[in-house]
Structure formats: structure tokens, C-alpha cells
Amino acid sequence: MALAAPTRKPPNDDSTEAPVFAVDGLWKVFGPKAARVPADPELAALSPAELRERAGCTAAVRDVSFDVRKGEVFVVMGLSGSGKSTLVRCLTRLIEPTAGTIAIDGEDVRAMDKARLRELRRHRAAMVFQHFGLLPHRTVLDNVAYGLQIQGIGKAERRERAAEVVAKVGLEGMEQRRPGQLSGGQRQRVGLARALVVDPEVLLFDEPFSALDPLIRRDMQEEVIRLHEEEGRTMVFITHDLQEALRLGDRIALMRDGRVVQLGTPEEIVGSPADDYVRDFVRDVPREQVMTVRRAMRPASEEDAGNGPAVPPEATVAEAIEAVARAGAPARVVDEGRCVGVVDSDALLGVVAGVAAPGDADPDAEAR
Ligand SMILES: Nc1ncnc2c1ncn2[C@@H]1O[C@H](COP(=O)(O)OP(=O)(O)OP(=O)(O)O)[C@@H](O)[C@H]1O
């Protein structure tokens, strides 16, 4: 598996800042008398198969709680049928939740009337779909401007704003083409531009790239990373692809049977799986491409201070291995000019091999 996760600092590590989305005790149950399932501890505790048999219901989302922080890429990952789409659709009530609370910027989503919900979906949390239904007879520019047209924005302004966004997603020169004259990847860029043009606070992606071939998919992932670095917009991204989740996610919620079985950074999920299911899920991940030197470093002593190559704390173990191999000496982990630790080849190899490293008792873990 080639991950080549780029070294990037989490955009927002401050869990004290007010979240964009705050979800608490969320349930979505399909089937007759769905509301009794979360309300009845006995039904709520049943396995999916028992619940289907006893009550004829499917609990697609079961008692899920999480925050989406401002500026982060929050990935919802899980196998087919684990509840990802249902969960993300509940955020803007494209699917009506059965129980629990959802707030966006502190405002209760479940209490919103129709007009407020429309405004939420159009302006605040825009969705990028895998099948986004581009209008086949309209040009790229008009497809992108369409969302602004619905908002009643005048022709000149919407064309100007659409042209800017079309250029931003790399489609300059294709403004006058029709969807039929574009490749799958280019069409997906139009879908992305269409969501971006309304300048939403949050972008919600529902498995947008799963129909693309691997190279184009990777291009689009890089596009998302680039856009995120440029704009810092909050993103919620659904995928069933672990590699995609690890590349894009600042944090990942891993779902199974409607529950979030682990919520953490890629490094926490790969380095400290919560249970056997997660361990099995991440078994083939090349750890050195996900784990950072924080996990492998030991405290620096005085004689370490001036020696060896310098790497930032968010450098991957793979990057540090290269630095250590080139220099033939342990690397210094330098954060804002201060040496915060040292990594040597034994510690780095320990991470690759999956044996406990000095940084495994991660002092920051609890704060996340
Ligand atoms: N309208 C519905 N009525 C009944 N059951 C449903 C409905 N929609 C989804 N489900 C069930 O809820 C569960 C979760 O479905 P969901 O589509 O959220 O999963 P997912 O993780 O997004 O899957 P995929 O990756 O295949 O899209 C599944 O068991 C599904 O069959």
C-alpha cells in the first residue's frame, strides 16, 4: 500500500474552540416505531441481527457522539453498510434523525424550520456527491453558477464568481464545455466547484471519488488537500477506503454497525487501535508513513542539542529514517527552534516493527 502521507500540521489542534458540528447521542433507526429503539435500553442493546428479528428495525446510526472542529478534515470511514452516509446526511437532516442532538455553530439543527434548513444546506454545509447530477445541456460555467442562480444572484456576478471557482479547481479553459465533453475526474471537479461557489462554512463529501480510477482519484485527493491548505475550510469526508481516510483525515471516525468504534488521528488509529476490529482494519498500513517522530523520540540530552539532522515533530517515521540514514546520526526533533527530542535508528525501526516506542505514552493523547 503506497500511502506517502504528506507531512502537514493539523490545522486546528485546539479542542477548546467551539466546534462547527456538535453531535450527541445520535440515532437513526429505520423501520416501524423506530423511536422506541433508542428509548428502550433493552432494544437499544440488541445486536443488529437481533434488532431486525425482534423489532423489524435497522439501527443505521447507534448512539453516536462527536465534534467536528473548525478547519479540520473529519473523515467518516467504515465498510459498506456501517452507517456513514446515514450519519452524514443526518447532519443537515437530509435524513431525519430518530434521537439525539445536532448543533451547527451552537444552533440546534433539529429545531430548524424548512427555510432555515434550506439555508443550512445551501450556504452553510454544502454537499459534494459522487453522482452530482450535472445539467447536461449547460456549460461548465453555468453548471457551477447554478447554485448562485437559485439564490437569486444576478447573472454578471454569478458568472464572475463561478469563473473564479472554476479556475480554483483547475478547469480554466473548459468553461464553455458541456459535462459530456469532460472526463470523470473533470466532472468531479465541476461538482466540487459547484459546492464551493456558495462559499459554505463546511463541505460535506459523500464518497465523491469512489467511482474514479486510482490515478484520477489520487489527483482529486491532492486537489482536496491543496484546497484545504489554501482555504482552511472545514470538511467532513465519507469514505470506505482506509488509504484515502489516512491521507485526508486530520481525525477519523471509524464506524462499524452504526457505532463509532474509534475516533482519533490517523496516528492514533494506526498506532493504538481501540480493539481487535480496528487492529485488523489497519494491519496492512505501512506504519512508518503514518506515525510521526513524536512516537519514536526520546528526551534530548545536552550533548544531543547541536548534533544530527533536524526534523519537525510532525515528520513521518519514513521521513526521519531517510534523514537519519543520510546523516548516519540520530535526528533531532525541532519544534519552533527548540529541540524537543531525539530519534535514533533503533527507535525508528521499532515503530516500523510495531514494538513499543518511547513516545507511545503520548502526553498529548488525552487532550485530543
Ligand atoms: N432507507 C432505508 N431503509 C432501511 N434501511 C436503510 C435505509 N438506508 C440505509 N439503510 C440501512 O442502514 C445501514 C447503513 O446504511 P448506510 O447507507 O448509511 O451505510 P454506508 O456505510 O454509507 O454504506 P455504503 O458505503 O455502502 O454507502 C445499512 O444496513 C442499510 O441497509
Q: How many angstroms does the Cα of residue 89 sit away from the middle of ligand 1?
A: 11
Strand partners, 202: 125, 234
Is-contact 110 22, C-beta < 8 A? Answer: no
Note the pLDDT of residue 108: 97
Q: From atom 28 of ligand 1, which residue's Cα is the shortest distance away?
A: 81
Note the pLDDT of residue 1: 44
Q: How many angstroms does the Cα of residue 140 sit away from the middle of ligand 1?
A: 32
Q: In whole angstroms, give the CA distance from residue 319 to residue 313.
A: 11
Q: In whole angstroms, give the CA distance from residue 252 to residue 290.
A: 13
Atom of ligand 1 nearest to the CA of 48: 29
Note the pLDDT of residue 302: 72
Residue 155 C-beta-side C-alpha neighbours within 13 Å: 0
CA angle 175, 204, 281 (to 5 degrees): 120
Q: How many angstroms does the Cα of residue 98 sit away from the middle of ligand 1?
A: 15
The set of protein residues with a Cβ atom below 6 angstroms from ligand 1 is: 30, 58, 60, 78, 80-86, 240
* Total-model pTM: 0.87
pLDDT block averages, 10 residues each, the chain of length 368: 48 70 97 94 93 94 97 95 95 97 97 95 86 85 89 90 91 93 88 89 89 83 88 93 92 96 95 92 90 88 75 93 92 90 91 69 45
Note the pLDDT of residue 214: 83
Q: Which amino acid is at 275?
A: D
Q: From atom 2 of ligand 1, which residue's Cα is the shortest distance away?
A: 30
C-alpha cell at 115: 427555510
Q: How many angstroms does the Cα of residue 83 sit away from the middle of ligand 1?
A: 6
Q: In whole angstroms, give the CA distance from residue 314 to residue 6.
A: 10
C-alpha cell at 268: 492514533
Q: How many angstroms does the Cα of residue 345 sit away from the middle of ligand 1?
A: 46
Q: From atom 12 of ligand 1, which residue's Cα is the shortest distance away?
A: 60
Neighbour tally for 181: CB within 10 Å: 12
Q: In whole angstroms, give the CA distance from residue 233 to residue 13.
A: 15
Atom of ligand 1 nearest to the CA of 85: 22
Mutational pocket test of ligand 1: of 51, 62, 82, the residue with most ligand atoms within 8 Å of the beta carbon: 82
Q: From atom 8 of ligand 1, which residue's Cα is the shortest distance away?
A: 86
DSSP state string for 232-290: --EEEEEES-HHHHHHH-SEEEEEETTEEEEEE-HHHHHHS-SSHHHHHHTTTS-HHHH
Q: Which amino acid is at 232?
A: G
Note the pLDDT of residue 4: 45
Note the pLDDT of residue 367: 42
Q: How many angstroms does the Cα of residue 204 sit away from the middle of ligand 1?
A: 17
